[in-house]
Structure 1
Amino acid sequence: MSDVLTAPVKIKIITTIIQPGTETEKFELWSEGKIMQKNDQIYLQYEEIQEDQRMNTTLRFGQEDAIIMRNGDVKMRMPFVLGQVRRGHYNSEYGQLPIVTKTKEMKFEPSETIQNGRFYLQYELIIGEQSVGDYCLELNYTEGNK
C-alpha cells in the first residue's frame, strides 16, 4: 500500500506585494489542481497563467519549510525556511536570475481531511543584494471535483 494520498482541489491564492515607495498590490488567483500528502509534507500542483505565460506550479510545504517550483514559460525555484535566508533562481527568456528569500512568517493550518487547509507565507524577496519588497502568499484549498 502506498503512503501517498492524492485528491483534486480548488485553490485560491492571494498574493500581496509591499514595495518601498509604491502602493500595496494585491492579486487573486483561482485554480484547480491536485494535492498530495507524503509523510508530513503537502504537495499542491496547479497551472498558472500570467500575462500570457503558462506555468505548472508545485508548492511543497510543511510546518517549517516550503518551496515553490514553476516550470513552463517561466522556470523558478524559491525555497523558504522560517527565520532563514535561502537562495533560489528565476529563469526567463532573458536568462537566469539568482534570488534570495528571507522568510518572516509561515503557517500551515491543515484540516482533518487532506482536501482542505490553509498555508500562509510572508517573506522578503532580495534580487542582486537589494530588497525588492515584502510578499505575502495566502493559499486556501478546498475539495475539488473528481
Structure 2
Amino acid sequence: MCLLSGTAVEHKPIKIKVTTTIWDGDQKETFELTTFGRYYEKSGSTYLQYEEVMEEGNVKSIVKVSKDETLILRSGAITMRMVFEMNKKHLGRYETPFGTMGISTRTKRLAHSFGAHNGAIDILYELHMQGALAGTYHLEISYEEENK
C-alpha cells in the first residue's frame, strides 16, 4: 500500500511483457522485453510502472491508461513523453544524452483490457521524428500479477 496525494493506493507486483514491432517500408523488426513492475489504479486511471536496463543506462517507464488516451512517460538515461489518442496526432519529445528530438504520434488502434490478475494494452501508431515518418509501430504490453 502506498500513499499518493493523501489517498491509499494498492500496488500489485506484476510481470510485464512489452513487444514492439516496427514496420519501416518493407523492413520489419520486433523487440521484446520481459521485466517486473507494479500495477495500480488512481483517480480513474490504470498505471503500470517498470524499469529496463539499456546500453545507455536504466530507464523507468510509467504507462497511464485513462478512458480515451494512453500516456507513456520514460525517465532516466532516456526521457520520453508520448500520448496516444484514437485518430489524433500528439506531439511529444525524445531526449537522449546526444540531444532532444521532436516526435509525434498518430494513433491507428488503441485498446486495453484489465482483469483481476492480468491485462493487456494494444497500440498501433505512426511515429514521426523531426517531422519525418520513422515507421508504423505496434506496441503490445501484457502483464500478469506475480504470485504472492
TM-score by length of 1: 0.90
Say yes or no: does 1:88 pair with 2:92: yes
Q: Offset of 1:40 from its aligned partner?
A: 2.7
What letter matches 1:14 in structure 2? T
Once the two structures are superposed, residues 85-135 of structure 1 have per-residue CA deviations (whole angstroms, 9 ceiling, x without a partner) of 000001111221110000110101111x1x411110010000122111000
Unmatched 5+ residue regions in structure 1?
none
Aligned in 2, Cα 1:128/1:59: closer, same or farther, shift over 3 Å? same
What letter matches 1:139 in structure 2? I
Structure 1 counterpart of 2:60: 56
Q: Offset of 1:5 from its aligned partner?
A: 3.3
What letter matches 2:19 in structure 1? I
Q: Offset of 1:139 from its aligned partner?
A: 0.8
Q: Answer yes or no: is the 8 Å Cα contact 2:72–2:83 preserved in 1.
A: yes
Say yes or no: does 1:47 pair with 2:21: no
Structure 2 counterpart of 1:122: 124
Say yes or no: does 1:11 pair with 2:13: no
Unmatched 5+ residue regions in structure 2?
1-5
Structure 2 counterpart of 1:139: 141
Which of 78, 81, 84 aligns to 2:82? It is 78
Percent identical residues: 34
Q: Distance in 2 between matches of 1:130 and 1:3?
A: 44
Q: Offset of 1:42 from its aligned partner?
A: 0.9
Q: Offset of 1:62 from its aligned partner?
A: 2.8
Q: Offset of 1:52 from its aligned partner?
A: 4.6
What letter matches 2:83 in structure 1? P
